[in-house]
Homo-oligomer: A and B are copies of this chain.
Amino acid sequence: MGTSARADEGMWTFDAFPSAKVAAAYGFRPDAAFLDHIRKSSLRIAGGCSASFVSSQGLVMTNHHCTLDCTSQLSTPEHNYVEQGFYAKTQSDEAKCPGFELDRLDVIEDVTKTVQSATAGKTGRALVDALHAKESALSIGCGRSEAIRCDVVSLYHGGIYKLYHYKRYTDVRLAFTPEYAVAQFGGDPDNFNFPRFDYDCSFVRAYEGGNPAVTPDYLHWSPNGSKAGDLVFVSGNPGATQRLLTVSELTYQRDVALPRTLPNLSELRGILERYQSEGAEQLRETKDSLFGLENSYKALFGREQALLDPAFFAKKVAEERAFRAAVAKRPDLAKTVGGDWDKLAAVERTKHELSYLNSYVANGPSSALFRYARTLVRLPVEKAKPDSQRLPEYSEANLVTLPQRLLAAVPVYSGPEEVGLAYWAKKMREDLGTDDPFVKEVLGAKSPDVWAHDVVAGTNLGDASVRKALYDGGSAGIAASTDTMIAFVLAIEPAARAARKQYEDRVTGPEGALEEALAKARFAVLGTSVYPDATFTARLSYGSVAGFTDGNGKAVAPYTTVGGLYGRATGSEPYALPQTWLTAQGSIDQNTAMDLASTNDIIGGNSGSPLVDKDGDVVGLIFDGNIFSLGGAYGYEPAQNRAVSVDSRAILAGLRSVYHADRLAAEIAP
């Protein structure tokens, strides 16, 4: 089974890639040209995915599930592209995705000294404010515009700060996406599992000035694909790992956060499952959000399982013990950070105490209408302050992109909004208690259902033109508004801001400062040979095509085949193939590699990442990890953790033999 014993651990930044390590393990040393080629061909999707250019005319490969929002938004009751798939026969048929942004990382600039000198000696709120102010100034300073964005990226929990310069593409159009049924074949039961048989790919195109973007840097299609044992790279934007968390922070996750979050997610899942069963329109409106919710649930459940595994947790305890011992031996470090683990443990107790306050009072419901309303309410208030004193999401830097998100004509469905708000209000009352003043403020004499119905019935914020008018109207417009969601946001604003401030002062601020101090100590002790936690920024991981041994001790091969897909199809959801694939069964080689497993160290956010070989060519498209990859949030286990890709050969065979998408097939593999 090849190289499964190698520890292909790490989500490395492009400017600190361990080429020597790769050379030692695989006999291939990635040079600057190789790394630059991959970085320049890679993309980040602002909503939380990765992608890559696969032609010189701006064609972009990503996952079906990364364009699902777009597909859903383009759909109507007459044309359900989620169900039927979408293919633009000609380039002029390519359809614009509302609010879709692609970012390409062009420059990485070290700003550690600048940031750290701005925050030196500060703690709590002062630290948070100073950091926000400096980040905002740096972002703006790099010449931010519609076409450029700069983000300050904190690596090693503040141990290093970089300024990432991106080229932005905001005119992005859907070229091809398959039917949901084959893209997500196996649905939730197969999610995070392998063997797997999904055709989870999509193609969009970046446009500039109304024409396809000119993209000389793009990934070529491998003529032969990969084989077991091959060295492969994943270029993408892993969202977040927590590998540097202390034992007290992991304990908080295991004993407080996850046991509270998982049952609540499950309840909403049940509500949406039943809601979907009530009609085709209800199904269409919530298919995307239930998919996301089930995916989150399974990922978090997997993390909880990892933390509940005594061996896994013991390893984290041992790592910390070794680090503390190393610090204790160095008088300088012992003096500055020796007490920080205990301080962090105290912060975690406060975090526990304020958990519901932060979740319900500070954050409020997870609702598109609510988010619009809060943004509209806060925007004029924050704009009136000096940049450095604003809530960071309203900094000048963020105001460049905020209008696009706020004003994009994205459909908002009243039914699911009402269901979600009623659920939130019910859980809020359950968790804070009926006698809590915030609960009384929100509900008054209403039941959660009635409250949710009223607040949705009386808002027009689902209409982008209404949002535009309020956006243009500023404070006066907000004050004059009779919109129920605006009224709700205004009513809870004092409590919400106070809760947020308390949480930042007592949790986020001190936690960040202590993490930063420990991260610096970690550099001092362990050197620069380690990689930073993932932060939804560009990373490159290396590994090899390899199977693994599953939970029952059975060997799992690294590839599945198209024939396996047909063999698994029962005709019942989520194992029902669409007619296109049934029709094509005789004309597609059943031995074609379908999906594959590799040892690359990835995590959520890597969806849509290209899997490339040592020639820098596409051999696959990352779309998932196996069940053992879920503990990857906290640590990498080489024996069983596997990344899962659609094989490049299946992608091409599908485009050619199933969809007859010759225009695109010829463009990516001439």
Cα distance, A443 to B575, chains bound together (Å): 12
Q: Is A323 an interface residue (CB 8 A)?
A: no
Q: Is A529 an interface residue (CB 8 A)?
A: no
Q: A308-B259, A429-B189 are in contact. Are A572 and B271 (CB under 8 A)?
A: no
- Min CB distance A84 to B, Å, is 20
Tell whether, in the assembled complex, residue B572 and residue A447 are in contact, meaning their CB atoms are under 8 Å apart.
yes
Across the interface, name the chain B residue whose C-beta is closest to A310: B255
Cα distance, A353 to B265, chains bound together (Å): 26
By a CB distance below 8 angstroms, the chain B residues around A447 are 572-574
Cα distance, A602 to B139, chains bound together (Å): 61
Chain A residues 60-78 with CB under 8 Å of chain B are none
Cα distance, A569 to B571, chains bound together (Å): 52
Chain A residues 251-273 with CB under 8 Å of chain B are 255-256, 259, 262-273
How many copies altogether? Answer: 2
Q: Is A193 an interface residue (CB 8 A)?
A: yes
Cα distance, A337 to B400, chains bound together (Å): 71
- Min CB distance A202 to B, Å, is 25
Contact partner, A266, options B193, B263, B419, Cβ 8 Å? B263
Interface size on A, residues (CB 8 A): 47
Chain A residues 560-598 with CB under 8 Å of chain B are 570-575
Cα distance, A558 to B494, chains bound together (Å): 35
Tell whether, in the assembled complex, residue A445 and residue B189 are in contact, meaning their CB atoms are under 8 Å apart.
no
Cα distance, A370 to B358, chains bound together (Å): 44
Q: A270-B268, A434-B186 are in contact. Are A277 and B449 (CB under 8 A)?
A: yes
Tell whether, in the assembled complex, residue B266 and residue A264 are in contact, meaning their CB atoms are under 8 Å apart.
yes
Across the interface, name the chain B residue whose C-beta is closest to A571: B445
Across the interface, name the chain B residue whose C-beta is closest to A444: B570
Cα distance, A271 to B423, chains bound together (Å): 12
Q: Per-residue CB proximity of A420-440 to B under 8 Å, as 1/0?
A: 000100000110011000000
Tell whether, in the assembled complex, residue A572 and residue B301 are in contact, meaning their CB atoms are under 8 Å apart.
no
Of the listed residues A189, A278, A308, the one surrounded by the most CB atoms of chain B closer than 10 A to its CB is A189
Cα distance, A447 to B575, chains bound together (Å): 8
Q: Is A171 an interface residue (CB 8 A)?
A: no
- Min CB distance A577 to B, Å, is 12
Across the interface, name the chain B residue whose C-beta is closest to A193: B433
Cα distance, A574 to B575, chains bound together (Å): 42
By a CB distance below 8 angstroms, the chain B residues around A256 are 308
By a CB distance below 8 angstroms, the chain B residues around A429 are 189
Contact partner, A445, options B269, B423, B570, Cβ 8 Å? B570
By a CB distance below 8 angstroms, the chain B residues around A491 are none
Contact partner, A450, options B273, B297, B301, B572, Cβ 8 Å? B572
Across the interface, name the chain B residue whose C-beta is closest to A255: B308
Tell whether, in the assembled complex, residue B434 and residue A263 are in contact, meaning their CB atoms are under 8 Å apart.
no
Across the interface, name the chain B residue whose C-beta is closest to A275: B274
Q: Is A446 an interface residue (CB 8 A)?
A: yes
Q: Is A647 an interface residue (CB 8 A)?
A: no
Q: Is A304 an interface residue (CB 8 A)?
A: yes
Q: Is A188 an interface residue (CB 8 A)?
A: yes
Cα distance, A429 to B573, chains bound together (Å): 13
By a CB distance below 8 angstroms, the chain B residues around A277 are 449
By a CB distance below 8 angstroms, the chain B residues around A573 are 447
Q: Is A516 an interface residue (CB 8 A)?
A: no
Of the listed residues A301, A447, A450, the one surrounded by the most CB atoms of chain B closer than 10 A to its CB is A447
Q: Is A190 an interface residue (CB 8 A)?
A: yes
Cα distance, A423 to B277, chains bound together (Å): 13
By a CB distance below 8 angstroms, the chain B residues around A265 are 263
Given contacts A259-B308, A270-B270, A270-B271, 20 further A-B contacts (CB under 8 A): A193-B433, A193-B434, A255-B308, A262-B266, A263-B265, A263-B301, A266-B266, A266-B267, A268-B270, A270-B423, A271-B271, A274-B419, A277-B449, A278-B278, A434-B575, A445-B570, A445-B572, A446-B572, A447-B574, A450-B572
